[in-house]
Amino acid sequence: MRRACPLALAAVLGIGAAANGLFMLISPVEWYFAVPGVTTTGSFNQHFLRDIGLIFLLVAGAMLAGVAQPATRVPLWSAAALWLAGHALFHFWEVAVGICGTDALAQDFPVVTLPAILTTALAFWAWRDAARGGR
């Protein structure tokens, strides 16, 4: 039971990242207009959105591979957490320099900042679990 909740959370985060990445790759225009606040951060750029979609698929793969392969959790979940945290910090930077208003932080929280926090917590959990000899 000690591992069930973190593994379920990692699977949910991985599936969510995969869904987002696929949406960005398959329908970048629809993604651009469907996600609240995106249109206020810059003009539509199909190439850029697809690049980011690929990154979300990599994050998804890292999270899901870590669920399936305990020995890979620390490096894969740590890499995913680093990218997601950098992405979240970039959103804070956009507010700091005036690209977005502070309301963007609340709007972005559930889909940008919270996944970064949760993935970082999972990376720390995986590190601690591995140090204790967990499998």
What span, in angstroms and rounded, lies between the C-alpha atoms of 82 and 69?
20
Q: Of the candidates 42, 10, 1, which has an alpha carbon nearest to the alpha carbon of residue 124?
A: 10
Q: Which residue has the tokens 């000899």?
A: 133
CB atoms within 10 A of CB 59: 27
Low-confidence ranges of the chain (pLDDT < 50): 1
Angstrom distance (rounded) from CA 82 to CA 80? 5
**Model pLDDT, residue 1:** 47
Query: What residues make up the domain containing 126?
Result: 4-131
Separation of CA 43 from chain center: 22
Q: What is the DSSP string of 63-77?
A: HHHHHH-GGGHHHHH
Contacts 24+ apart (CB under 8 A), 71-79: 73/126, 73/129, 73/130, 74/123, 74/126, 74/127, 74/130, 77/10, 77/119, 77/122, 77/123, 77/126, 78/123, 78/126, 78/127
Question: What is the total count of domains within the chain?
Answer: 1
Can you give the pTM of this predicted structure? 0.93
